[in-house]
Chains A and B, each alone.
Chain A
Amino acid sequence: MSEEKRLNPIADILASEVAELRQGRGQAKHDNEDFPEADKVKAIGEKVGFVSRDSAAAQQATAPQAVEVRKPYRWTTGRNRTVTIRASDETINLFDKVATKLNLQKGVVLERALAAFIRETGVDLND
């Protein structure tokens, strides 16, 4: 061990520096009683983001519950569905005019128009 120490001068210097410190030489003077109070230390730390785990947990526990978002009303009859059809302005205007004239819902107009179309063309839908 002693031979090893002679080969490592840093170890000797370290031992001598530690011994000086143990004997109280060159040590920065400090006394436990002089230390700042915990509350003040905590406040300083919180200013730069060093927060208490306890307060972070408590904040999480008391965080307001997420407000339940109301679902939008759904105006469904349970029978009809919406269909989007691309058509020319003339066709759409004509469709509106027929529905207004006959005082029928557009879905009913479409239903009757399809029936008339099938009758007229004799198309076989079973193919």
Chain B
Amino acid sequence: MPIIVFASSKGGAGKSTSACLLSTAIANTGANVTVIDADPNKPLTRWAGHAKLPDNLKVVTNKDESTVLAEIKEAAANSEFVVVDLEGVASVTVSYAISRANLVVIPVQGSHLDAVEAAKAVRLVRNQEEAFERKIPFAILFTRTSPAIRGRTLANIEQTFREAGYPMFATQLLEREAFKAMFSCGKTLYQLTSSHSSNIDKAIQNSEQFALESIRIVRGLPVESPEPLTKDQHEEPNATELAS
């Protein structure tokens, strides 16, 4: 079954958050999902230790680089979806996971540093495609973007990626309090209530839009650009969110 890998050799690009969102969104449809936490900091393992996960969502902790292929193989045999959250360094674990992927998601924040590391991941994907004559779908996912302001740096990066022919998710994961609350409260997005964070419904919608695009890429279907946000859908960041 599909193996979706989150890769970027830059730490803090949003791999764990986006992997967590995708896993929970797919699991929420009733599918069986295994997440392999291959980040030595074990963010998703710690999160799973606190969260009461649904029965169809499991987090497996990667032992080391020598075991990751076996872990992916086992997870793929026992689950309908496998999501691999990789470490934020250029390691052989990343190469191994990409070699098994049906989709490589490369999260990028709107910064030059993230973009450079994303380009490294793309180079690795393309080298593997060429060497093994296997198409590996991949796409850049912009994370922690602002709902109201589109920065000049982000616009430049998007333009550069477009010129380089990098596919990009139409959906961007916005900077949202709810995404942070998942980890601080030890809950899935669907378990959060208004006492944990505001705008949970919009966070769920954002997350599911991303999940939908991912599934369509895996299925080889054309990805439709999401409708632009209408004025009332734009959320003004509230004081609490700004303070955090």
Pair from one complex = yes
Q: Are B128 and A41 in contact (CB under 8 A)?
A: yes
* B26 (CB) vs chain A CBs: closest residue: A18
Residues of chain B within 8 A (CB-CB) of A7 are 201
The A interface, classified by DSSP as helix, strand, loop or mixed, is: helix
Query: Quick check: is A10 within 8 A (CB to CB) of the other chain?
Result: yes
- Please provide the chain A residues from 28 to 45 with a CB less than 8 Å away from any CB of chain B in the complex: 28, 30, 32, 34-36, 38, 40-42, 44-45
Q: Pick the contact of B219: A27, A35, A46, A49 (CB < 8 A).
A: A27
Query: Quick check: is B137 within 8 A (CB to CB) of the other chain?
Result: yes
Query: Quick check: is B91 within 8 A (CB to CB) of the other chain?
Result: yes
* A20 (CB) vs chain B CBs: closest residue: B219
Residues of chain A within 8 A (CB-CB) of B211 are 14
**Distance from B150 Cβ to chain A, minimum over Cβ atoms (Å):** 22
* B124 (CB) vs chain A CBs: closest residue: A48
Q: Beyond the given A28-B137, A50-B90, could you list 18 further A-B residue pairs with CB under 8 A, ordered by the A residue number?
A: A8-B204, A10-B209, A13-B212, A17-B212, A17-B215, A17-B216, A18-B31, A19-B29, A27-B218, A28-B218, A32-B73, A35-B100, A38-B69, A38-B96, A41-B128, A42-B92, A49-B120, A53-B64
**Distance from B34 Cβ to chain A, minimum over Cβ atoms (Å):** 14
Count of inter-chain pairs, beta carbons less than 8 A = 122
Q: Are A41 and B99 in contact (CB under 8 A)?
A: yes
Residues of chain B within 8 A (CB-CB) of A15 are 29-30
Query: Quick check: is B102 within 8 A (CB to CB) of the other chain?
Result: yes
Q: Are B95 and A17 in contact (CB under 8 A)?
A: no
* B72 (CB) vs chain A CBs: closest residue: A32
Also in contact, A26 and B124, with CB within 8 A (given A13-B212, A36-B132)? no
Also in contact, A45 and B95, with CB within 8 A (given A15-B30, A21-B2)? yes
Q: Are B91 and A35 in contact (CB under 8 A)?
A: no
Q: Are A32 and B76 in contact (CB under 8 A)?
A: yes
Query: Chain A residues in contact with chain B, CB under 8 A?
Result: 7-8, 10-11, 13-15, 17-22, 25-28, 30, 32, 34-36, 38, 40-42, 44-54
Q: Pick the contact of A14: B131, B132, B208 (CB < 8 A).
A: B208
Q: Pick the contact of B205: A8, A20, A28, A53 (CB < 8 A).
A: A8
**Distance from A70 Cβ to chain B, minimum over Cβ atoms (Å):** 39
Also in contact, A45 and B92, with CB within 8 A (given A8-B201, A22-B31)? yes
Residues of chain A within 8 A (CB-CB) of B242 are none
Q: Are B218 and A40 in contact (CB under 8 A)?
A: no
Q: Residues 94-118 of chain B: 1 if any A CB is under 8 Å from the residue's CB, otherwise 0?
A: 1110011010000000000000000
Query: Quick check: is B184 within 8 A (CB to CB) of the other chain?
Result: no
Q: Are B69 and A14 in contact (CB under 8 A)?
A: no
Bound CA span A19–B91, Å: 34
**Distance from B158 Cβ to chain A, minimum over Cβ atoms (Å):** 23
**Distance from A60 Cβ to chain B, minimum over Cβ atoms (Å):** 15
Residues of chain B within 8 A (CB-CB) of A48 are 90, 120, 123-124, 127
Also in contact, A11 and B219, with CB within 8 A (given A32-B73, A53-B65)? no
Bound CA span A8–B64, Å: 40
Q: Are A52 and B91 in contact (CB under 8 A)?
A: yes
Residues of chain A within 8 A (CB-CB) of B69 are 38
